[in-house]
A and B are shown apart, each in its own frame.
Chain A
Amino acid sequence: MKRAWHVLLMCALGACGPEVDAGSVHGLEVVLSRAFVDRLGSFQVSILAGANTLDPEAVEKGCVASQGHTYVQQLDARGQKVKARSFDAAVTGGQQELKLGGVPYGREYLFVVEALSADETPVLLGSGSARVQAFQGDVRLAPITVGALTPTPACDPRIR
Protein backbone atom coordinates (compact mmCIF):
# COMPACT_ATOMS: atom_id res chain seq x y z
CA MET A 1 0.00 0.00 0.00
CA LYS A 2 2.82 2.35 0.99
CA ARG A 3 4.64 1.55 -2.22
CA ALA A 4 1.52 2.13 -4.30
CA TRP A 5 1.11 5.53 -2.66
CA HIS A 6 4.70 6.31 -3.33
CA VAL A 7 4.48 5.41 -7.01
CA LEU A 8 1.20 7.28 -7.36
CA LEU A 9 2.77 10.40 -5.90
CA MET A 10 5.87 10.09 -8.03
CA CYS A 11 3.72 9.88 -11.13
CA ALA A 12 1.65 12.82 -9.99
CA LEU A 13 4.77 14.88 -9.45
CA GLY A 14 5.95 14.14 -12.92
CA ALA A 15 8.69 11.78 -11.84
CA CYS A 16 7.32 8.81 -13.76
CA GLY A 17 9.03 8.88 -17.13
CA PRO A 18 11.82 7.22 -18.95
CA GLU A 19 14.31 8.69 -16.50
CA VAL A 20 12.70 6.91 -13.55
CA ASP A 21 13.74 3.33 -13.20
CA ALA A 22 12.06 2.46 -9.92
CA GLY A 23 12.23 -1.19 -8.97
CA SER A 24 14.43 -2.29 -11.83
CA VAL A 25 17.45 -4.46 -11.22
CA HIS A 26 20.47 -5.04 -13.40
CA GLY A 27 21.91 -8.45 -12.70
CA LEU A 28 25.36 -9.62 -13.56
CA GLU A 29 25.86 -13.20 -14.68
CA VAL A 30 29.13 -14.50 -13.39
CA VAL A 31 29.99 -18.10 -12.64
CA LEU A 32 31.62 -19.52 -9.54
CA SER A 33 34.92 -20.73 -10.88
CA ARG A 34 36.26 -24.21 -10.32
CA ALA A 35 39.68 -22.66 -9.87
CA PHE A 36 38.97 -21.49 -6.33
CA VAL A 37 36.02 -23.35 -4.84
CA ASP A 38 38.35 -25.53 -2.78
CA ARG A 39 39.78 -22.43 -1.13
CA LEU A 40 36.52 -20.55 -0.74
CA GLY A 41 35.85 -19.24 2.75
CA SER A 42 33.36 -16.41 2.51
CA PHE A 43 31.57 -13.93 0.32
CA GLN A 44 31.84 -10.20 0.92
CA VAL A 45 29.14 -7.97 -0.51
CA SER A 46 29.50 -4.22 -0.76
CA ILE A 47 27.44 -1.58 -2.53
CA LEU A 48 29.26 1.23 -4.28
CA ALA A 49 27.66 4.56 -5.04
CA GLY A 50 27.89 6.21 -8.45
CA ALA A 51 27.77 3.04 -10.53
CA ASN A 52 27.36 5.13 -13.69
CA THR A 53 30.86 6.53 -13.13
CA LEU A 54 32.48 3.18 -12.40
CA ASP A 55 33.93 0.57 -14.71
CA PRO A 56 32.67 -2.75 -13.29
CA GLU A 57 35.41 -4.75 -14.97
CA ALA A 58 38.07 -2.57 -13.38
CA VAL A 59 36.37 -2.90 -10.00
CA GLU A 60 36.31 -6.68 -10.31
CA LYS A 61 40.01 -6.92 -11.11
CA GLY A 62 41.12 -6.03 -7.58
CA CYS A 63 40.08 -5.58 -3.98
CA VAL A 64 37.26 -3.07 -3.57
CA ALA A 65 38.73 -2.25 -0.16
CA SER A 66 41.79 -0.68 -1.74
CA GLN A 67 40.04 1.22 -4.55
CA GLY A 68 38.74 4.19 -2.56
CA HIS A 69 35.11 4.06 -3.62
CA THR A 70 32.16 5.55 -1.81
CA TYR A 71 30.12 2.88 -0.08
CA VAL A 72 26.37 2.77 0.36
CA GLN A 73 25.96 1.75 3.97
CA GLN A 74 23.75 -1.22 4.76
CA LEU A 75 22.64 -2.82 8.01
CA ASP A 76 24.18 -5.96 9.40
CA ALA A 77 22.26 -8.63 11.30
CA ARG A 78 22.60 -6.58 14.50
CA GLY A 79 21.11 -3.51 12.90
CA GLN A 80 24.40 -1.60 12.72
CA LYS A 81 25.50 0.33 9.66
CA VAL A 82 28.32 -1.35 7.79
CA LYS A 83 30.18 -0.80 4.54
CA ALA A 84 30.08 -4.46 3.57
CA ARG A 85 28.47 -7.70 4.69
CA SER A 86 30.39 -10.94 4.97
CA PHE A 87 28.73 -14.33 4.51
CA ASP A 88 30.40 -17.65 5.21
CA ALA A 89 30.47 -19.76 2.07
CA ALA A 90 27.76 -22.41 2.41
CA VAL A 91 26.80 -23.29 -1.13
CA THR A 92 24.28 -26.08 -0.68
CA GLY A 93 21.70 -27.41 -3.08
CA GLY A 94 23.29 -25.70 -6.02
CA GLN A 95 23.17 -22.15 -4.80
CA GLN A 96 23.56 -19.74 -1.94
CA GLU A 97 21.45 -16.72 -1.18
CA LEU A 98 23.05 -13.59 0.19
CA LYS A 99 20.44 -11.34 1.72
CA LEU A 100 21.24 -7.69 2.31
CA GLY A 101 19.06 -5.62 4.55
CA GLY A 102 18.64 -1.95 5.33
CA VAL A 103 19.83 -0.84 1.91
CA PRO A 104 18.70 2.77 1.44
CA TYR A 105 16.65 3.56 -1.63
CA GLY A 106 18.80 5.25 -4.20
CA ARG A 107 20.20 5.33 -7.71
CA GLU A 108 23.23 3.98 -9.48
CA TYR A 109 24.37 1.27 -7.10
CA LEU A 110 27.03 -1.27 -7.96
CA PHE A 111 26.57 -4.47 -5.93
CA VAL A 112 29.96 -6.17 -5.69
CA VAL A 113 30.32 -9.79 -4.58
CA GLU A 114 33.86 -10.83 -3.70
CA ALA A 115 34.91 -14.41 -3.00
CA LEU A 116 37.46 -14.56 -0.20
CA SER A 117 39.69 -17.49 0.68
CA ALA A 118 39.40 -19.37 3.95
CA ASP A 119 42.96 -18.43 4.93
CA GLU A 120 43.65 -16.64 8.18
CA THR A 121 44.54 -13.61 6.10
CA PRO A 122 42.12 -14.04 3.23
CA VAL A 123 42.97 -13.28 -0.36
CA LEU A 124 40.60 -12.24 -3.11
CA LEU A 125 39.82 -15.30 -5.21
CA GLY A 126 37.21 -13.78 -7.49
CA SER A 127 34.86 -10.90 -7.93
CA GLY A 128 31.57 -10.13 -9.66
CA SER A 129 29.25 -7.17 -9.73
CA ALA A 130 25.77 -6.06 -10.69
CA ARG A 131 24.66 -2.54 -11.50
CA VAL A 132 21.30 -1.33 -10.23
CA GLN A 133 20.12 1.94 -11.70
CA ALA A 134 17.33 2.46 -9.20
CA PHE A 135 17.04 0.58 -5.96
CA GLN A 136 13.59 0.87 -4.51
CA GLY A 137 11.75 -1.70 -2.46
CA ASP A 138 12.53 -5.36 -2.08
CA VAL A 139 14.36 -6.69 -5.11
CA ARG A 140 15.85 -9.98 -6.22
CA LEU A 141 18.91 -9.59 -8.37
CA ALA A 142 19.57 -11.90 -11.26
CA PRO A 143 21.70 -14.96 -10.39
CA ILE A 144 25.28 -13.96 -9.66
CA THR A 145 28.28 -16.13 -10.01
CA VAL A 146 31.80 -15.04 -9.31
CA GLY A 147 34.67 -15.44 -11.75
CA ALA A 148 38.20 -16.37 -10.73
CA LEU A 149 41.08 -13.92 -10.69
CA THR A 150 44.40 -15.34 -11.81
CA PRO A 151 46.74 -14.49 -10.35
CA THR A 152 45.02 -13.40 -7.14
CA PRO A 153 45.71 -9.72 -6.52
CA ALA A 154 48.13 -8.82 -3.73
CA CYS A 155 45.74 -6.85 -1.55
CA ASP A 156 43.73 -7.33 1.63
CA PRO A 157 40.10 -7.66 0.48
CA ARG A 158 38.51 -7.17 3.89
CA ILE A 159 36.40 -4.02 4.08
CA ARG A 160 36.41 -2.62 7.59
Chain B
Amino acid sequence: MLLACAPVPAQARATPRVVDVPLAQVGPAARAQEQAQGQLDAGEFDEAVRTLQRALGEPELTDAQLVELYRMLGLAQLYLGNEDRAREAYEKLLQARPDHELPRGAPPKVVRLYERIREDIRKQRVRPVKLEVEPLKDVEGGNPVELAIQVENLALGSRPTLYYRRAGTETFGSATFKRTPDAPELYRATLPAWELPAEKARYDVEYYVEVADAARRRLAGRGDAFNPLRFSVRPPGMAGRSGEDEEGRWYTNPWVWVGLGVGVAAAGAGAAFILGQQQTGTATLTVRVQ
Protein backbone atom coordinates (compact mmCIF):
# COMPACT_ATOMS: atom_id res chain seq x y z
CA MET B 1 0.00 0.00 0.00
CA LEU B 2 2.75 2.34 0.92
CA LEU B 3 4.54 1.64 -2.29
CA ALA B 4 1.44 2.05 -4.34
CA CYS B 5 0.90 5.48 -2.90
CA ALA B 6 4.50 6.60 -3.00
CA PRO B 7 5.23 9.11 -5.73
CA VAL B 8 8.24 9.11 -7.96
CA PRO B 9 10.81 11.61 -6.67
CA ALA B 10 11.69 14.37 -9.05
CA GLN B 11 15.22 14.65 -10.36
CA ALA B 12 17.66 16.72 -8.43
CA ARG B 13 18.87 19.96 -9.94
CA ALA B 14 22.64 19.75 -10.00
CA THR B 15 25.42 22.23 -10.50
CA PRO B 16 28.44 20.28 -9.27
CA ARG B 17 31.81 21.93 -8.96
CA VAL B 18 34.45 19.44 -7.89
CA VAL B 19 37.28 20.44 -5.58
CA ASP B 20 39.99 18.42 -3.87
CA VAL B 21 40.30 19.95 -0.45
CA PRO B 22 41.76 17.75 2.30
CA LEU B 23 39.19 17.75 5.07
CA ALA B 24 41.77 18.23 7.76
CA GLN B 25 42.30 21.70 6.34
CA VAL B 26 38.75 22.77 6.99
CA GLY B 27 37.90 24.83 10.07
CA PRO B 28 39.60 26.95 12.70
CA ALA B 29 42.00 24.19 13.87
CA ALA B 30 43.68 24.16 10.45
CA ARG B 31 44.26 27.90 10.62
CA ALA B 32 45.69 27.56 14.13
CA GLN B 33 47.97 24.81 12.88
CA GLU B 34 49.37 27.08 10.19
CA GLN B 35 49.71 29.96 12.62
CA ALA B 36 51.53 27.81 15.18
CA GLN B 37 53.91 26.52 12.52
CA GLY B 38 54.72 30.10 11.58
CA GLN B 39 55.32 30.99 15.23
CA LEU B 40 57.62 27.99 15.68
CA ASP B 41 59.55 28.97 12.58
CA ALA B 42 59.89 32.51 13.94
CA GLY B 43 61.03 31.30 17.36
CA GLU B 44 57.87 32.60 19.07
CA PHE B 45 57.46 29.53 21.26
CA ASP B 46 55.26 31.03 23.98
CA GLU B 47 52.82 32.28 21.36
CA ALA B 48 52.93 28.91 19.61
CA VAL B 49 52.02 27.12 22.87
CA ARG B 50 49.07 29.45 23.40
CA THR B 51 47.90 29.02 19.81
CA LEU B 52 48.14 25.22 20.04
CA GLN B 53 46.39 24.98 23.40
CA ARG B 54 43.59 27.12 22.06
CA ALA B 55 43.30 24.88 18.99
CA LEU B 56 43.26 21.74 21.15
CA GLY B 57 40.20 23.17 22.90
CA GLU B 58 38.21 23.14 19.66
CA PRO B 59 35.27 20.72 19.89
CA GLU B 60 35.76 18.91 16.59
CA LEU B 61 39.25 17.85 15.62
CA THR B 62 40.34 15.11 13.28
CA ASP B 63 42.87 12.55 14.47
CA ALA B 64 45.38 13.90 11.96
CA GLN B 65 44.93 17.40 13.33
CA LEU B 66 45.35 16.20 16.92
CA VAL B 67 48.56 14.38 16.08
CA GLU B 68 50.01 17.42 14.37
CA LEU B 69 48.93 19.80 17.14
CA TYR B 70 50.48 17.62 19.85
CA ARG B 71 53.66 17.19 17.82
CA MET B 72 54.10 20.95 17.55
CA LEU B 73 53.14 21.47 21.21
CA GLY B 74 55.79 18.98 22.31
CA LEU B 75 58.36 20.73 20.18
CA ALA B 76 57.44 24.21 21.45
CA GLN B 77 57.52 23.08 25.11
CA LEU B 78 60.89 21.47 24.60
CA TYR B 79 62.33 24.63 23.09
CA LEU B 80 61.03 26.48 26.14
CA GLY B 81 62.81 24.00 28.40
CA ASN B 82 59.57 22.47 29.73
CA GLU B 83 60.53 18.84 29.37
CA ASP B 84 57.66 17.54 31.51
CA ARG B 85 55.07 19.32 29.39
CA ALA B 86 56.79 18.24 26.21
CA ARG B 87 56.58 14.67 27.50
CA GLU B 88 52.84 15.04 28.14
CA ALA B 89 52.29 16.22 24.59
CA TYR B 90 54.39 13.45 23.03
CA GLU B 91 52.70 10.83 25.22
CA LYS B 92 49.34 11.89 23.81
CA LEU B 93 50.73 11.73 20.32
CA LEU B 94 52.21 8.26 20.81
CA GLN B 95 49.04 6.93 22.40
CA ALA B 96 47.31 7.52 19.10
CA ARG B 97 50.19 6.77 16.75
CA PRO B 98 52.69 4.45 18.44
CA ASP B 99 54.65 4.24 15.20
CA HIS B 100 54.77 7.99 14.62
CA GLU B 101 58.23 9.18 13.61
CA LEU B 102 59.53 12.69 14.00
CA PRO B 103 60.35 14.47 10.76
CA ARG B 104 63.88 14.13 9.48
CA GLY B 105 66.04 17.01 10.62
CA ALA B 106 64.41 17.25 14.04
CA PRO B 107 66.85 18.65 16.61
CA PRO B 108 68.89 15.94 18.40
CA LYS B 109 67.55 17.04 21.78
CA VAL B 110 64.01 16.47 20.55
CA VAL B 111 64.92 13.11 19.05
CA ARG B 112 66.54 11.90 22.28
CA LEU B 113 63.57 12.92 24.40
CA TYR B 114 61.17 11.40 21.92
CA GLU B 115 62.98 8.06 22.00
CA ARG B 116 63.05 8.05 25.80
CA ILE B 117 59.31 8.70 25.95
CA ARG B 118 58.63 6.01 23.38
CA GLU B 119 60.63 3.52 25.42
CA ASP B 120 58.80 4.53 28.60
CA ILE B 121 55.44 4.03 26.89
CA ARG B 122 56.48 0.59 25.68
CA LYS B 123 57.14 -0.46 29.28
CA GLN B 124 54.17 1.35 30.71
CA ARG B 125 50.88 -0.43 31.28
CA VAL B 126 48.00 1.14 29.44
CA ARG B 127 45.75 3.03 31.76
CA PRO B 128 42.10 1.97 31.37
CA VAL B 129 39.51 4.52 30.34
CA LYS B 130 37.36 5.45 33.31
CA LEU B 131 33.76 6.46 32.61
CA GLU B 132 31.23 7.84 35.06
CA VAL B 133 27.63 8.35 34.00
CA GLU B 134 24.89 9.86 36.12
CA PRO B 135 21.73 8.03 34.91
CA LEU B 136 18.99 10.21 33.50
CA LYS B 137 15.82 10.69 35.51
CA ASP B 138 12.31 11.00 34.12
CA VAL B 139 11.78 14.12 32.06
CA GLU B 140 8.86 16.14 30.75
CA GLY B 141 8.21 15.75 27.02
CA GLY B 142 9.01 18.53 24.60
CA ASN B 143 12.24 19.55 26.30
CA PRO B 144 15.85 18.78 25.47
CA VAL B 145 17.76 16.57 27.87
CA GLU B 146 21.43 16.95 28.62
CA LEU B 147 23.58 14.05 29.76
CA ALA B 148 26.89 14.83 31.45
CA ILE B 149 29.60 12.21 31.81
CA GLN B 150 33.12 12.14 33.15
CA VAL B 151 35.83 10.38 31.18
CA GLU B 152 39.36 9.88 32.45
CA ASN B 153 42.39 8.65 30.52
CA LEU B 154 40.69 9.17 27.19
CA ALA B 155 43.24 8.24 24.54
CA LEU B 156 43.74 10.41 21.51
CA GLY B 157 41.31 9.48 18.76
CA SER B 158 38.78 7.97 21.17
CA ARG B 159 35.35 9.47 21.59
CA PRO B 160 32.34 8.99 23.87
CA THR B 161 28.97 8.65 22.13
CA LEU B 162 25.42 8.59 23.42
CA TYR B 163 23.12 6.08 21.71
CA TYR B 164 19.37 6.34 22.23
CA ARG B 165 16.08 5.08 20.91
CA ARG B 166 12.46 5.14 21.85
CA ALA B 167 11.64 1.89 23.68
CA GLY B 168 10.08 -0.56 21.26
CA THR B 169 11.88 0.71 18.16
CA GLU B 170 14.76 -1.14 16.58
CA THR B 171 17.54 1.27 15.79
CA PHE B 172 19.54 3.58 17.99
CA GLY B 173 20.27 7.17 17.04
CA SER B 174 23.40 8.81 18.35
CA ALA B 175 24.53 12.11 19.78
CA THR B 176 28.09 13.29 20.09
CA PHE B 177 29.52 14.29 23.43
CA LYS B 178 31.35 17.61 23.47
CA ARG B 179 34.12 18.40 25.88
CA THR B 180 33.40 21.13 28.40
CA PRO B 181 36.00 23.86 27.87
CA ASP B 182 36.55 24.52 31.59
CA ALA B 183 36.62 20.88 32.68
CA PRO B 184 38.48 18.71 30.15
CA GLU B 185 37.23 15.44 31.64
CA LEU B 186 33.59 16.49 31.62
CA TYR B 187 31.61 15.84 28.43
CA ARG B 188 28.04 16.77 27.58
CA ALA B 189 25.57 15.54 24.98
CA THR B 190 22.08 16.84 24.32
CA LEU B 191 19.05 14.85 23.27
CA PRO B 192 17.14 17.43 21.22
CA ALA B 193 13.59 18.31 22.12
CA TRP B 194 12.17 16.94 18.88
CA GLU B 195 13.42 13.47 19.77
CA LEU B 196 11.41 13.62 23.01
CA PRO B 197 8.04 14.99 21.90
CA ALA B 198 5.36 15.72 24.46
CA GLU B 199 2.64 13.11 24.22
CA LYS B 200 -0.47 12.32 26.16
CA ALA B 201 0.94 9.07 27.46
CA ARG B 202 4.23 8.43 29.15
CA TYR B 203 6.82 6.55 27.12
CA ASP B 204 10.32 5.22 27.70
CA VAL B 205 13.61 6.01 26.00
CA GLU B 206 16.50 3.57 26.09
CA TYR B 207 20.08 4.72 25.92
CA TYR B 208 23.68 3.77 26.55
CA VAL B 209 27.04 5.50 26.55
CA GLU B 210 30.06 4.05 24.84
CA VAL B 211 33.66 5.18 24.59
CA ALA B 212 35.27 3.75 21.47
CA ASP B 213 38.58 4.24 19.76
CA ALA B 214 39.05 5.24 16.14
CA ALA B 215 38.62 1.60 15.08
CA ARG B 216 35.23 1.52 16.88
CA ARG B 217 36.55 -0.81 19.59
CA ARG B 218 34.69 -0.34 22.84
CA LEU B 219 37.02 0.93 25.56
CA ALA B 220 34.40 1.63 28.21
CA GLY B 221 30.66 1.97 28.44
CA ARG B 222 27.58 2.19 30.57
CA GLY B 223 24.82 -0.06 29.26
CA ASP B 224 24.84 -1.49 25.76
CA ALA B 225 22.44 -2.18 22.89
CA PHE B 226 21.15 -5.35 24.56
CA ASN B 227 21.03 -4.00 28.08
CA PRO B 228 20.36 -0.28 27.72
CA LEU B 229 19.60 2.21 30.47
CA ARG B 230 16.17 3.77 30.41
CA PHE B 231 14.24 6.86 31.39
CA SER B 232 10.62 7.92 31.00
CA VAL B 233 9.21 10.90 29.13
CA ARG B 234 6.06 12.08 30.85
CA PRO B 235 3.30 14.30 29.47
CA PRO B 236 3.62 18.01 30.25
CA GLY B 237 2.28 18.99 33.65
CA MET B 238 2.45 15.50 35.10
CA ALA B 239 4.68 15.23 38.16
CA GLY B 240 7.36 12.52 38.12
CA ARG B 241 6.35 9.22 39.67
CA SER B 242 8.24 6.07 40.39
CA GLY B 243 7.51 2.88 38.48
CA GLU B 244 6.10 1.14 41.57
CA ASP B 245 3.45 3.84 41.94
CA GLU B 246 2.11 3.18 38.50
CA GLU B 247 1.59 -0.52 38.96
CA GLY B 248 -2.00 -1.36 39.66
CA ARG B 249 -3.41 1.88 38.28
CA TRP B 250 -6.45 1.48 36.05
CA TYR B 251 -4.68 2.74 32.96
CA THR B 252 -2.02 0.05 33.21
CA ASN B 253 -4.69 -2.64 32.67
CA PRO B 254 -4.53 -3.61 28.96
CA TRP B 255 -8.24 -4.62 28.88
CA VAL B 256 -9.28 -1.09 29.60
CA TRP B 257 -7.45 0.02 26.49
CA VAL B 258 -8.83 -2.78 24.36
CA GLY B 259 -12.34 -1.62 25.20
CA LEU B 260 -11.56 2.00 24.69
CA GLY B 261 -9.68 1.25 21.49
CA VAL B 262 -12.76 -0.14 19.76
CA GLY B 263 -14.68 3.04 20.46
CA VAL B 264 -11.83 5.32 19.58
CA ALA B 265 -10.99 3.60 16.28
CA ALA B 266 -13.82 5.20 14.30
CA ALA B 267 -13.18 8.68 15.62
CA GLY B 268 -9.44 8.15 15.25
CA ALA B 269 -9.74 7.50 11.54
CA GLY B 270 -10.90 11.04 10.91
CA ALA B 271 -8.68 12.57 13.54
CA ALA B 272 -5.54 10.86 12.23
CA PHE B 273 -5.86 12.64 8.92
CA ILE B 274 -6.25 16.02 10.57
CA LEU B 275 -3.44 15.38 13.02
CA GLY B 276 -1.26 14.22 10.17
CA GLN B 277 -1.37 17.70 8.73
CA GLN B 278 0.04 19.09 11.95
CA GLN B 279 2.84 16.60 12.43
CA THR B 280 6.44 17.46 12.14
CA GLY B 281 9.43 15.50 10.89
CA THR B 282 13.17 15.71 10.65
CA ALA B 283 15.39 16.25 7.65
CA THR B 284 19.02 15.31 7.37
CA LEU B 285 21.09 17.29 4.91
CA THR B 286 24.51 15.94 4.03
CA VAL B 287 27.21 18.38 3.00
CA ARG B 288 30.13 16.71 1.26
CA VAL B 289 33.57 17.87 0.27
CA GLN B 290 34.85 16.03 -2.76
Q: How far is the CB of B276 from chain A (nearest CB, A)?
A: 4
Give complex CA distance A85, B290 in Å. Answer: 24
- Are B286 and A29 in contact (CB-based, < 8 A)? no
Give complex CA distance A118, B26 in Å. Answer: 11
A77 proximal to B (CB < 8 A): yes
| Residue of A whose beta carbon sits closest to that of B173 | A99
Give complex CA distance A131, B78 in Å. Answer: 55
Which of B2, B8, B21, B62 sits near A7, CB closer than 8 Å? Answer: B2
Give complex CA distance A75, B195 in Å. Answer: 11
Q: How far is the CB of B19 from chain A (nearest CB, A)?
A: 4
Residues of A with C-beta under 8 A to B194: 75, 79, 101-102
Give complex CA distance A78, B27 in Å. Answer: 25
| Residue of B whose beta carbon sits closest to that of A79 | B193
B252 proximal to A (CB < 8 A): no
Number of interface residues of B (CB under 8 A): 56
- Are A111 and B285 in contact (CB-based, < 8 A)? yes
User: Per-position contact with A for B164-194: 1 when CB-CB < 8 Å, else 0?
Assistant: 0000000000000000000000000010111
Give complex CA distance A131, B283 in Å. Answer: 13
Residues of A with C-beta under 8 A to B59: 88, 90
- Are B281 and A94 in contact (CB-based, < 8 A)? no
Interface of A is mostly: mixed
B7 proximal to A (CB < 8 A): yes
A10 and B280 in contact (CB under 8 A), knowing A28-B14, A31-B290, A77-B144?
Answer: no
- Are B2 and A4 in contact (CB-based, < 8 A)? yes
B133 proximal to A (CB < 8 A): no
B80 proximal to A (CB < 8 A): no
Residues of B with C-beta under 8 A to A38: 25, 30-31
| Size class of the contact patch on chain A | 35 or more
Q: How far is the CB of A71 from chain B (nearest CB, A)?
A: 15
Give complex CA distance A24, B12 in Å. Answer: 11
Q: How far is the CB of A108 from chain B (nearest CB, A)?
A: 12
Would you list which residues of chain B between 262 and 290 have a CB under 8 Å from chain A? 269, 272-273, 276-290
Of the listed stretches A14-22, A61-69, A152-160, chain B binds A14-22
Which of A8, A145, A146 has the largest number of chain B CB atoms within 10 A?
A145
Can you list 28 A-B pairs, Cβ within 8 angstroms, ordered by A? A4-B1, A5-B272, A9-B273, A9-B276, A10-B5, A21-B7, A23-B7, A29-B16, A32-B288, A40-B26, A45-B285, A78-B144, A90-B27, A92-B62, A93-B23, A100-B283, A100-B284, A102-B194, A113-B287, A130-B12, A135-B281, A139-B283, A140-B283, A141-B286, A145-B289, A145-B290, A147-B15, A148-B17
| A-B interface, 4 closest residue pairs, ranked by CB to CB distance from nearest | A79-B193, A101-B194, A29-B14, A34-B19
Q: Which residues of A contact B (CB under 8 A)?
A: 2, 4-11, 13, 16, 18, 20-34, 37-38, 40-41, 43, 45, 56, 75, 77-79, 88-105, 111, 113, 118, 130-148
